[in-house]
Amino acid sequence: MLDANELKSFNDEHSKEHQRNWDHLGERLLNRGHDTEGLIEQICAFQVAIPSWALGTGGTRFGRFPSGGEPSNLRDKIKDVGILHALNKSSGAISLHIPWDIPEDYDSIRELAFGLDIKFDAVNSNTFQDQPNSVHSYKFGSLSHVDTAVRKEAIKHNKEVIDHGVQLGSKALTVWLADGSSFPGQHNFRDAFQRTLESLEEIYDHLPADWKLLVEYKPYEPNFYSMVIPDWGTSHLLASKLGDKATSLVDLGHHLPNTNIEQIVALLMHLNKLGGFHFNDSKYGDDDLTVGSIKPYQLFLIFCELVQGMEDTDNPELSWMIDASHNLKDPMEDLLQSVESIKIAYARALLVDYDSLKIAQASNDIAQSQRILQEAFRTDVRPLVMESIYRKGGALDSLTAYRAFDIRNQLIAARGIDSKSTGL
């Protein structure tokens, strides 16, 4: 779907303008003392995994309006990520959700992915839905359920997810629990927590030596009174009790409004306990909107903490992933925009003069501290990000290229207008 010659002529058409922009920015950055080649290398290396469930149109509980040509099986999902990655050279990983993405044949799935330069990121378990032939129901919880048999079923599922991941070369299991209560009195908080910990211990014991367990948290939804893992404190508590392989996962949409997420990121990294990241954006809750579309300054501040934490803590390597749901836009376009926003925020955070910031902080020079951050944030780094993608062979402006190559219509022609993705 993406012919190399076509991509080349697309880039040729756009290269003059890009070169002008990049010359201008490159010179400014050099004058400010930045190592532009080093920056390009860091930005090139930054890869963000695409979740298999974000390739189809998402829905709200009121309806779903698919855009056609959605990937209805794992092979097609990998191919879609291949298209994104060919365009932006930044999406070289896919995150699978089991049982939606159980591979029929590991070898051929691995071969397909590696041929497209795609790795397998964290695998995700699903104990928030009942599957067609399941004996037990997760209606009242999974790892925290009052009934041992249900907990056993959920534990077994998580172990199976790990086994699938091992076959594909994944290195992490992400657990997000829908468990909780919707009415006061429904749950005994302490017992629910204890049962969850014990269930997670069994799953933890099944992890291969080089694997991580990522514990995600969320304050509400689908339960509206209490969630068993509502916040980073609970996630961190569980991860600490479980052991070194367990860490917390921050999903940007899983906080109550106005939470200072950058501070959470800083502290988790300080404790070497931040394991992964789910990017999206939101105005009110778990809105799952395009990254950077609502609160780009917050995203930048989060990246400032990430960049500093990666530099001066022993926090383990992070799993970067987008976790979004695209109800209105073409999911592929949305993902291209999300990845671009992430790279822009990262590039801006790399421009911050952290040494000067520390000096300003030490003398309580607040105005100067703010100026240092905003100097970086207000720099238009798009030519820098584009240059890094261009050098790796990607498209100069991935969204324009996606439209120029008419990829959605090609997908519709190949798969049909009614082809629906599995997932939410």
Residues near Mn ion, by CB under 5 A: 251, 278, 286, 323
| Residue number with CB closer to ligand AFD (53 or 303) | 53
Least separation in angstroms between residue 251's CB and Mn ion is 4
Q: What is the DSSP letter of 327?
A: S
| Residue number with CB closer to ligand AFD (86 or 215) | 215
Tokens 């790795």, residue? 119
Least separation in angstroms between residue 124's CB and ligand AFD is 5
3-state secondary structure of 247: strand
DSSP readout, 358-422?
A: HHHHHTT-HHHHHHHHHHHHTS--HHHHHHHHHHTT--SSHHHHHHHTTHHHHHHHHH-TT---S
The CA distance from 382 to 314, in Å, is 30
| Residue number with CB closer to Mn ion (251 or 305) | 251
Q: Please check whether residue 338 is in contact with residue 291, taking contact to mean a CB–CB distance below 8 angstroms.
A: yes
| Residue number with CB closer to ligand AFD (53 or 120) | 53
53 binds, among ligand AFD, Mn ion, none (CB under 5 to 8 A by kind): ligand AFD
Neighbours of 231 (CB within 10 A): 18
Pairing status of strand 59-60 against strand 63-64? antiparallel
Least separation in angstroms between residue 54's CB and ligand AFD is 9
Phi, psi of 283 (to 5 degrees): -105, -35
| Residue number with CB closer to ligand AFD (292 or 383) | 292
The CA distance from 98 to 104, in Å, is 12
| Residue number with CB closer to ligand AFD (278 or 343) | 278
Tokens 């290398």, residue? 41
Least separation in angstroms between residue 126's CB and ligand AFD is 7
Q: Please check whether residue 319 is in contact with residue 121, taking contact to mean a CB–CB distance below 8 angstroms.
A: yes
Pairing status of strand 93-95 against strand 119-120? parallel
Least separation in angstroms between residue 226's CB and ligand AFD is 17
Q: Please check whether residue 287 is in contact with residue 253, taking contact to mean a CB–CB distance below 8 angstroms.
A: yes
Task: Report the residue number whose CB is nearest to ligand AFD.
Answer: 176
| Residue number with CB closer to ligand AFD (320 or 390) | 320
343 binds, among Mn ion, ligand AFD, none (CB under 5 to 8 A by kind): none
Whole-number Cα distances in Å, 414 to 20, 76, 343? 39, 11, 31
Least separation in angstroms between residue 73's CB and ligand AFD is 17
10 binds, among Mn ion, ligand AFD, none (CB under 5 to 8 A by kind): none
| Residue number with CB closer to ligand AFD (151 or 278) | 278
Question: Using only C-alpha atoms, what is the Rg of the chain?
Answer: 22
Least separation in angstroms between residue 240's CB and Mn ion is 21
387 binds, among ligand AFD, Mn ion, none (CB under 5 to 8 A by kind): none
| Residue number with CB closer to Mn ion (74 or 289) | 289
The CA distance from 70 to 373, in Å, is 41
Least separation in angstroms between residue 250's CB and ligand AFD is 11
Can you give the binding site for ligand AFD, defined by CB under 6 A?
53, 124, 176, 216, 251, 278, 286, 323, 424
399 binds, among Mn ion, ligand AFD, none (CB under 5 to 8 A by kind): none
In b/e form, how buried is each residue of 65-94, taking b as 16+ CB within 10 angstroms?
A: ebbbbbbbebbbbbbbbbbbbbbbbbbbbb
- Where helices occur in 73-178 by DSSP H, the ranges are 74-88, 106-115, 148-168
Least separation in angstroms between residue 176's CB and ligand AFD is 4
424 binds, among Mn ion, ligand AFD, none (CB under 5 to 8 A by kind): ligand AFD
Question: CB under 8 Å to 181, separation ≥6 — which residues?
Answer: 187, 192, 223, 225, 226
Least separation in angstroms between residue 221's CB and ligand AFD is 8
| Residue number with CB closer to Mn ion (142 or 419) | 142
124 binds, among ligand AFD, Mn ion, none (CB under 5 to 8 A by kind): ligand AFD
